[in-house]
Chain A
Amino acid sequence: MSAKLSKNPKNKVRVSLEDRIISIASYFIYSLFAFVCLYPFYYIFINSLSANDLSERGKVLFWIKGLHFKNYVDVMKVPGLFNALKISVARTLVGTAFTVITAAFLGFMFTQETLWKRKLWYRFVVATMYFNAGIIPWYITMRNLNLTNNFWGYIFPTVVAPFYIVLCKTYVESVPKELQQAAEIDGAGTMRIFLQIMLPVIQPILATVAIFSAVNQWNSFQDTLLLVTDNKLYTLQFVLYQYITQASSLKALVNSSSTSTSLAASLATAQTATSIRMTVTIVVVTPIILVYPFFQRFFIKGIMIGAVKG
């Protein structure tokens, strides 16, 4: 457009040159960024599948060398890993279910003008976003409630999540009021309106909330650190952290239980500190990477609604 309208031909060249430099520089910088974000994942992935003596010495940089899958078989022999996987999956499923149902229900209830002292209770819940007693008082509370070394210690504190309630309430408010009024005229009670009218309509926001809270549950580390000393309740994140800090002692354990006898074969597949660490990392990160591309739009929707209200 500008090319056609500018009368001075020199001017035309200058403008497009400048734009072109910006454009090339942008492509370069963003490619670099994408590389920095993606390469570490790729690096760990190819190392987990490469010959362990090579990965131990840092020889695997760009492609798989000496492909084998034994790491993924052996990693299940690492004491506690399978149990940690179960705990992580369980807390993600149970915790997300509780959080989503509660967010939906309270989000809906806080739009009901008939609710006794509605505004007061809404503020009572939302205010908790802005203060925090601190980790020690929280820890002592949890201990008094017998929720330390208890699976429900992962769940109960996350049931009422004010931010998600705000998201749901905003969404419910955007649903036409006539929908509920019509149901009321037909004689439906509050619970019935929630279950049969609202729940189906607000599904998009529930998907967003579910994804957010599932990722949070899966990634949660601090609560295990504070509340749990019983290794049966360790989560994958916590176990991974332990492995990073003490991988060398683990490799002996796994290798001694390994049935492989041939010496030549064992050099490439015997577990090293590096191979265990990398393989466990892939196990922990895979669910996120699998889920992520499908749900990216939900994440974005969530942050947008949050930004408007927030």
Chain B
Amino acid sequence: MDAIDILLTGSFWVAVIRIASPLIFATMGELICERAGVLNLGIEGIMTVGAFTGWLTVYLGGDLWLGVAIAALAGVAFGLLHGLLTVPLGLSQHVTGIGITLLATSLTYFTYRVALPEVTSPPKIEPFQPFPLPGLSGIPIVGPALFNQTPLTYLAFVLVAVVAWILTRTPVGIALRAVGENPAAVEAQGISVTAVRMGAVAVGSACMAVGGAFLTMSAFNSFFFEMINGRGWVCIALVVFGSWRPGKALLGAVLFAAFDAYQVRLQQVTGGAIPYQVFLMLPYVLSILALIVVARRASYPKALMAPYQKGER
């Protein structure tokens, strides 16, 4: 198989969409937070929590969708904590976010050990199954890639549309964007800046957690340590790359996933001539390069990382 031929195989594009799905969830989550003016570096930890709680729910006999809901709730909990510390209390969003990631990750590992003291290899669960959309899944290449995925993948794409709709077409979306641009404008119109920002961080964190849950419930079928593996940080880069717009961020996530899927296949093609670590590094390197390319002309939310106090201007 040739390096170019990879791009023409159906399984490649199936993998691309599968790899992209958790990134889409988490990127939308981060995007919601940042559009409201709050950087959420808790993303990596919140994804870990989501991956674990979703998986645990199913492992303990719960329904798959119940797992997704529990994961989202766990995300909300950590999001509210991050929101409480950074919005009304105005603490450094950098330090708090890192703290949330450390806390969420360690709490997850602790709970895992408490809940499953005996296990040596991570137990598997029955994950979401692909759900072919009648008619559409038969189309060559595009069909299996886009229309024969698990329900969570469909949900990821729906989420992008919903986020885009909310941000531009609903009163709450307008308030959310305004609060990320100029909180004083929102306060002057009688809306609580704190409430909007807290809400955005809670909802955004729920999306991140579902992104994490995708990994255990729709990809790897079990939970293991360090499974998020920097995906959260990549998503932060994707938000910048997407200029804080849902559509562009989606494009970024798919591009990134394509690159990731491609490098895995390229490893097989090159047959070990290049160390596999080089391929594994490429996605991270790509993220940094993407940041460099867009950083100059990125129009970020003006009030990003700026805490707001009433009456201050």
Q: Do A and B come from one complex?
A: no
